[in-house]
Structure formats: C-alpha cells, structure tokens
C-alpha cells in the first residue's frame, strides 16, 4: 500500500475530530525535534518545494470528503512540516472553495514564518497552531535541532508579524523538555516573547507518547504547573470521540494507519474506533507478532507504535 497524504479522521487534543492532510512524505521536515512522535527526520531541509504533488493530494481529499463525513477540521499536519510544500496555499484555497463547510487548520513548527509569501498563504487558514519551544539559540538547537539555514530570530520576528495581521485563531504551543528548556529564566524570556504577539492562546505540552529519543522524559505535573504559571499558558487537554464499529479487516488497517503516524494506547484506539478493548488488543497483538509495530511504556500506559530505528544517545 502506497503512502497516503490524507489520514484519519483522528481525535485531536486541540481541534476535535480532524481529517489530516500530509503535504510531505515521511519524514521531510525543517527540524529533527528530540520529542517528535513521528520519529527521526530523514530529510532535513529549509527549502520549500513540491514535496507532494498537489493534484494527488487534492484527489485524495476529494475521495475522503465525498461522503460528507462529520468533522471539526481538515488539518494540514502529518509526518513532517507542511509549510515546506509550495502548494500549501493552493491546496488550502481549493479546500475553502470546494468544501467551505469544513474548517481548516495548520499545525506548524513556524520555522519558515520569516517568509512573507508563506505568511500570506497561511493568513486565510482559520486556525494556526505554531510551535515555539525556545527564544534562545542554543536551547533552540538542542530541542528542535533545526536545519542550519533556519534562523531563530527571523522565525520569531516572522511569527510576530503574522500574529499582528492574522484574523484567525492563533495557538502557540510550548513543549516542555526537562533539562533543556525548563529553566525559570528561560521561561521568563519565553513569556516576554508570547506577550509581544497579538491575540493568541499559549498552550504548554510535554511528552505523552513515545518521542524520537528514549532519553526524553515527560515533565512532572509540578514542573508543568510551574511553567504554566510563568508563561500564562494552559495545558493541552485530551479529546476522544468514537467513530463507531468497523469490520475487523478495516479496523486492523485503520489501527496500522493511526499508529504509524502517532503512537497510541489500547484505550486511545478504543476511543477512536469504537471497538471493544478485547478486539483492539487482539489486533494490535497480531500486528506486533507480524513485526509491524512495537511497544513502549510511558506513565500514561503501554503505547503501540511503528517500528523505528535507534536514535542517538542523550546529550547529557
């Protein structure tokens, strides 16, 4: 089965039930974040190009939306950085004209927001969720591991410029990585940056699913609460919605699609699919036996995820 640029619907923690649109192939990104749940970046670049054929992407979206599914959003996200695709604006504009009943969202690391043309492409998207994990160059490179051509100051100024003119809903996510960007003085600097933006909601997140590297640990509740107070941020909540029952073969394919993009527990998969825990456990066990998935234990439970190669050792 070839790579699909459209996936879901999946329950999103901030956007409700969302159909995902992936404008790159695995894993084209401008960063190689230590916490990324999609695994290590295989093509790190700061160059915008047609990393996915817009005609093919549009065809896949058309097929998924033909039955008028119940959705909260169609979201540009996926295995890499969607703004790297030069066709982002084209696909977003087509979606708005062809399917105006669906709200559009963009999940981005915002590393290319120094580009005025890109900011213009994103201006019409109803919700933009931008990740900003540091305002310090050294910390930025330790946490996000960007392409050498990415300039942090240009990125931050670009986000400021975008926020001043943007009329949609701007979300800014800060991902707390213990030992890297959790120092109080750094958080105070982050707060100043967030205060310099136009109207926006600042969200704080930490590791919930298995990340790229095993040494990255979730922040404690106390650390999250302290950081949230300093930043004036709110935690990203959880969202789950059943999709109803599915045939076993279709459900197995659906499970594989989901966990190949984002690690999930049995409970996550139950809430997404509407299937029983026993059925989910049986199918993920079969996938594990076939070697298609592996397990990883975190405080929230046992996660199933696609097989990945080993990552580098902890910098500490």
The mean pLDDT value for 77-89 works out to 94
Q: Band of the pLDDT at 210, cuts 50, 70, 90?
A: low
- In the CATH scheme, what is the code of domain 242-308? 1.10.10.10
Q: Kindly report the number of other CB atoms within 10 A of residue 276's CB atom.
A: 11
- Cα–Cα dist 306/302, whole Å: 13
The class of domain 6-241 in CATH terms is alpha beta
Radius of gyration, alpha carbons of the chain = 19
The whole-model pTM stands at 0.76
The domain limits of the chain are 6-241, 242-308
- Tens-digit pLDDT profile for residues 90-134: 999 999 999 999 999 999 999 999 999 999 999 999 999 999 999
- Cα–Cα dist 197/130, whole Å: 12
- Tens-digit pLDDT profile for residues 46-64: 999 999 999 999 999 999 9
Q: Kindly report the number of other CB atoms within 10 A of residue 12's CB atom.
A: 22
For residue 314, what is the DSSP state? P
């Amino acid at each position: 089965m070839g790579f699909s640029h459209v996936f879901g619907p999946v329950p999103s923690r901030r956007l409700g039930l969302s159909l995902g649109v992936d404008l790159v192939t695995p894993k084209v990104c401008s960063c190689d974040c230590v916490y990324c749940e999609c695994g290590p970046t295989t093509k790190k670049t700061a160059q915008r190009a047609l990393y996915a054929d817009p005609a093919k992407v549009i065809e896949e979206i058309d097929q998924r939306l033909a039955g008028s599914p119940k959705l909260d959003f169609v979201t540009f996200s996926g295995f890499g950085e969607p703004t790297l695709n030069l066709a982002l604006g084209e696909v977003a504009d087509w979606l708005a004209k062809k399917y105006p009943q669906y709200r559009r969202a963009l999940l981005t690391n915002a590393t290319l927001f120094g580009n005025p043309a890109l900011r213009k492409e994103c201006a019409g998207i109803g919700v933009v969720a931008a990740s900003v994990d540091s305002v310090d160059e050294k910390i930025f490179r330790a946490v996000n591991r960007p392409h050498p051509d990415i300039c942090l100051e240009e990125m931050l100024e670009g986000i400021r410029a975008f926020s001043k003119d943007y009329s949609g809903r701007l979300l800014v996510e800060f991902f707390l990585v213990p030992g890297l960007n959790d120092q109080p003085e750094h958080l105070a600097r982050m707060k100043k940056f967030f205060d310099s933006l136009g109207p926006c909601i600042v969200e704080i997140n930490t590791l919930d699913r298995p990340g790229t590297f095993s040494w990255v640990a979730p922040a404690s509740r106390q650390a999250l609460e302290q950081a949230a107070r300093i930043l004036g941020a709110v935690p990203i909540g959880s969202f789950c919605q059943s999709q109803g029952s599915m045939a076993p073969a279709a459900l197995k394919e659906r499970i594989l699609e989901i966990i190949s993009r984002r690690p999930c527990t049995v409970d996550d998969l139950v809430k997404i699919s509407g299937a029983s825990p026993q059925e989910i456990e049986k199918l993920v066990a079969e996938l594990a036996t076939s070697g298609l998935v592996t397990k990883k234990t975190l405080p929230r439970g046992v996660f199933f995820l696609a097989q990945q190669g080993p990552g580098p050792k902890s910098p500490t």
